């Protein structure tokens, strides 16, 4: 790969990882603050981020469905997204060097 292609790919990965992390953080904050899920914005955010959190939803099976909760599935997904983004960004940075 050419150097500028790698740089663009790294920037794209950082942007995508940052956007997904931002959405997951917003979901976590809204869950902790017990936001009303019938609000259109909150409903949209929960619907958008649900496919990311669903694979780890078993972690939260004993938590109440309503009220203020710390959704550990969201925290775990956030850690995975940040880790994968950082590792791929670093790996692509090493490929750029001769």
Is residue 3's pLDDT more than 90? Answer: no
* pLDDT tens, residue by residue, 56-95: 989 988 888 778 888 999 999 999 999 999 999 888 887 6
Taking a C-beta distance cutoff of 8 angstroms, is the pair 28, 74 a contact? yes
Taking a C-beta distance cutoff of 8 angstroms, is the pair 78, 21 a contact? yes
Band of the pLDDT at 97, cuts 50, 70, 90? Answer: low
Distance CA 13, CA 88 (A): 8
Domain ranges of the chain: 3-96
* pLDDT tens, residue by residue, 8-31: 888 999 999 999 999 999 999 999
The reported pLDDT for the residue numbered 25 is 97
Tokens 């981020």: give the residue: 49
Taking a C-beta distance cutoff of 8 angstroms, is the pair 80, 63 a contact? no
């Amino acid at each position: 790969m050419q150097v500028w292609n790698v740089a663009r790919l790294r920037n794209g990965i950082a942007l995508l990882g940052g956007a997904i992390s931002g959405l997951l953080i917003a979901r976590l904050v809204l869950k902790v603050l017990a936001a009303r899920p019938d609000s259109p914005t909150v409903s949209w955010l929960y619907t958008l981020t649900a496919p990311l959190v669903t694979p780890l939803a078993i972690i939260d099976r004993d938590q109440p469905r309503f009220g203020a909760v710390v959704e550990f599935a969201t925290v775990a997904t956030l850690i995975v997204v940040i880790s994968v983004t950082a590792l791929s960004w670093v790996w692509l940075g090493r490929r750029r060097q001769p």
